[in-house]
Amino acid sequence: MAKKLKEDKIQWHPPFCSATELELRHDSDILEFIQELPLSKKPLNIDLFIIKKIDNRILQNDIGKLFRKDNICEYKGPGDYISIDDFYKAIAYACLYKSLGKDVDERPASQITISLIQETHPKLLFEILPQNGVTVNLVYPGIYYMDGNIPFPMQMIVTKELEKFNHSPLRVLTKNADKEDVRQLLKVASELVTQRDKNNFKSVVNASSSANIKIYNDIKKEDATMAGIIEMAERKGRNQGILEGKTEANISTATDMIKDGLPANMIIKYSKLSLEKLQELAKSMNTTLVM
Tens-digit pLDDT profile for residues 246-265? 566 677 778 877 887 878 88
**Model confidence at 243: pLDDT above 80:** no
pLDDT, mean over the chain: 87
- When computed from its CA atoms, the radius of gyration of the chain, rounded to whole angstroms, is 20
Model pLDDT, residue 240: 53
Average pLDDT, integer, range 143-153: 96
Report whether 145 contacts 113 (CB < 8 A): no
Percent of the chain with pLDDT over 90: 63
Report whether 92 contacts 50 (CB < 8 A): no
Edge-to-edge, what's the strand order for the sheet holding 31-38?
31-38, 45-52, 70-75, 112-118, 154-158, 143-148, 134-140
Model pLDDT, residue 8: 56
Q: Is 63 exposed, middle or buried (0-12, 13-18, 19+ CB in 10 A)?
A: buried
Question: Which of 277, 224, 230 is closest to 255 using CA atoms?
Answer: 277
**Model confidence at 237: pLDDT above 70:** no
Average pLDDT, integer, range 113-136: 97
Least confident of 3-7, 34-38, 169-173, 176-180: 3-7
Partners of 8 in beta bridges:
none
Model pLDDT, residue 246: 52
User: Which secondary structure element, helix H or strand E, spans residue 22, and what is its range?
Assistant: helix 13-23
Q: Where are the beta strands (DSSP E) in the chain?
A: 31-38, 45-52, 70-75, 112-118, 134-140, 143-148, 154-158
**Model confidence at 1: pLDDT above 70:** no
Model pLDDT, residue 41: 54
Model pLDDT, residue 2: 46
Average pLDDT, integer, range 104-121: 96
Q: How many CA atoms lie within 13 Å of 15's alpha carbon, on the beta-carbon side?
A: 28
Task: Give the span between the Cα atoms of 67 and 111, in whole angstroms.
Answer: 8
Report whether 116 contacts 136 (CB < 8 A): no
CB atoms under 10 Å from CB of 153, counted, come to 19
Task: Give the span between the Cα atoms of 202 and 236, in whole angstroms.
Answer: 7
* Reported pTM: 0.75
Task: Give the span between the Cα atoms of 174 and 186, in whole angstroms.
Answer: 16
**Model confidence at 3: pLDDT above 60:** no
* Helix, strand, coil distribution of the chain in percent, nearest 5: 55, 15, 30
Report whether 172 contacts 130 (CB < 8 A): no
DSSP letter at 274? Answer: -
Average pLDDT, integer, range 180-189: 94
- Got the DSSP string for 113-157? EEEEEESS--HHHHHHGGGGTEEEEEEETTEEEEEES-SS-EEEE
Class level of CATH domain 1-175: alpha beta
Least confident of 65-69, 136-140, 193-197: 193-197
Which tops the pLDDT comparison, 7 or 221? Answer: 221
Average pLDDT, integer, range 43-56: 86
What would the pLDDT profile of 266-291 be if each residue is shown by its tens digit? 788 767 788 878 887 787 777 878 77
